[in-house]
Amino acid sequence: MKAVIQRVSKASVTIDKQEVARINSGLLILLGIVNDDSEDDIKWLSNKIVNLRIFSDATGVMNESLLQIQGDVIVVSQFTLHANTKKGNRPSYIQAAKPDVAIPLYETFVNQIQADLGKTIQTGQFGADMKVELINDGPVTIIIDTKNK
């Protein structure tokens, strides 16, 4: 499981010109899933994300977590995070899990991060053509791969 975590001052997701998610201060999480991802990966990743100290404290130092600031979250599925670009110019997405595997893991991740954060989060729509807008705060962008714990 791979996540690109972006600290945002605001973010939104639009599908077919309809806004489906909007947040203010918090995280936009782009989530890529492979076939051998498991519930252990989900638990580890969710815990890591909600406790990452990447928000500024009163002195301007990145010392507070999403959990501490009770920030908002949007999770967006993104199979292209597992693109293989070694050969040629057309990326291969063969490593990305197919929907029958990925959707249940994606939904479990969303439920886990809601439980860890203690609040409802927002999402895009799995498999949809989404337009994602964000103001990256910092900018702070972190990539986490559960295969590199």
Cα–Cα distance measured from residue 140 to residue 138, given in angstroms and rounded to the nearest whole number: 5
Mean pLDDT for the chain overall: 96
- Cβ distance 127 to 77 under 8 Å? yes
Cα–Cα distance measured from residue 132 to residue 11, given in angstroms and rounded to the nearest whole number: 7
**pLDDT score recorded for residue 134:** 98
Helix H segments across the chain? Answer: 39-51, 66-69, 99-117
- Cβ distance 147 to 12 under 8 Å? no
- Cβ distance 71 to 116 under 8 Å? no
Q: What is the dihedral of CA 15, 19, 21, 23, to 10 degrees?
A: 140
45-73 pLDDT, tens digit per residue, is 999 999 999 999 999 999 999 999 999 99
**pLDDT score recorded for residue 149:** 87
Model confidence at 30: pLDDT above 90: yes
Q: pTM for the complete prediction?
A: 0.96
141-145 average pLDDT score? 98
**pLDDT score recorded for residue 38:** 96
- Cβ distance 3 to 144 under 8 Å? yes
34-54 average pLDDT score? 97
| Catalytic positions | 78-80
> Which numeric CATH code is attached to 2-148?
3.50.80.10
91-137 pLDDT, tens digit per residue, is 999 999 999 999 999 999 999 999 999 999 999 999 999 999 999 99
Domain ranges of the chain: 2-148
Nearest to 93 by CA among 103, 80, 102: 80
